Amino acid sequence: MKGLLLKDFYMSMRYCRSVLIIVAVFFLLSLSPDGNLFFMLYPLILAGAIPMSLIAYEERDNWTTYSGTLPYSRAQLVCTKYLMGLICGVLTCCLSMVGIALRTLPDGQIAQVFAQGMMLLALSLVSPAVTLPFIFKWGPEKGRILFYVVLVGVSGLSGAVASIGQIPETLTVSLAAGAAALGVMALVFALSYRLSVLFYRKREL
């Protein structure tokens, strides 16, 4: 498993550097007084798509066929992508929490930092949880279509929030609501993993 994670890390550094730049740009935009919810949500969804991009590169390089000769089970191969999705989500969420802290800590709202952080972490798991089962069943090309559906949904949500004049620092979230959202999403993430393992074991490579 460690070797698989290192492989995915090196691939991310080589092929997904543009994602890091986009995340940094949107982080800076989220700090502006006119920033809206989209500037925080888009990097989370984008980072969650990194496992999908890695699978696409692996299929292009025939890694999926070669991996069958290695002492790894298909469950381990699937688990690696979910761990990468979780790691990317946590790192991007931590960056977003820095932005939230810069906005809210002067007002002494430290509870909001943690509450919104848990909510953002839950949202960061949506993209891999929804798209990975379809990718492991039908491949990255069809899974990419579903990712665009998720992206459009997030764009519509942030646009609706922006239209009523709300920006991230005005969106209050209780600790209980943040914890509940994260707990529900963790369950969905685990069920998504089990479904992906089931699909990938049955798939012809």
Query: What's the pLDDT at 86?
Result: 92
What is the residue type of 16?
A: C
pLDDT, average across residues 62-79:
86
Instruction: Write down the pLDDT at residue 186.
Output: 92
Q: How confident is the model at residue 205 (pLDDT cuts 50, 70, 90)?
A: low
- Structural domain of residue 121, as residue ranges? 2-202
How many structural domains does the chain have? 1
Buried b (16+ CB within 10 A) or exposed e, 33-59: eebbbbbbbbbbbbbbbbbbbbbbebb
Predicted pLDDT of residue 156: 63
Which has more confidence, 93 or 146?
Answer: 93
Each residue of 14-62: pLDDT tens digit?
A: 887 787 788 778 777 766 655 556 677 778 878 888 888 888 888 888 8
pLDDT confidence bin for 165, thresholds 50/70/90: very low
Structure tokens at 69: 């000769």
Note every long-range contact of 155-162, with CB atoms under 8 Å and residues 24 or more positions apart, other chains counting. Answer: 155/38, 155/42, 157/37, 157/41, 158/36, 158/37, 158/38, 158/41, 158/42, 159/38, 161/36, 161/37, 162/36, 162/37, 162/38
Token pair of 174 as six digits: 């209780």
Q: Which residues have C-beta within 8 Å of that of residue 104, sequence separation ≥ 6?
A: 110, 112, 113, 169
What is the model's pTM?
0.82
Per-residue pLDDT tens over the stretch 104-118: 665 656 777 777 788
Of 8-12, 18-22, 55-59, 71-75, the one with minimum mean pLDDT is 18-22
Q: Residue 4: is its pLDDT beyond 70?
A: yes
Cβ contacts of 150 within 8 Å, gap of 6 or more: 45, 126, 127, 130, 131
The region of weakest confidence among 38-52, 65-79, 145-159, 180-194 is 145-159
Residues 130/146, Cβ–Cβ less than 8 Å: yes
Question: Environment class of residue 15 by beta-carbon count within 10 Å: exposed (0-12), middle (13-18) or buried (19+)?
Answer: middle
For the segment 55-82, the average pLDDT, to the nearest whole number, is 87
Q: How confident is the model at residue 160 (pLDDT cuts 50, 70, 90)?
A: low
- Does the pLDDT of residue 166 top 60, yes or no? no
**Relative orientation angle of helices 38-48 and 110-124, to the nearest 10 degrees:** 40
Question: Tokens standing for 64?
Answer: 């999926």
Decide which of 44 and 183 is more confident: 183
What is the pLDDT, as a whole number, of residue 82?
95
Which residues are CB-contacts of 5 (< 8 A; sequence separation ≥ 6)?
Answer: 80, 83, 84
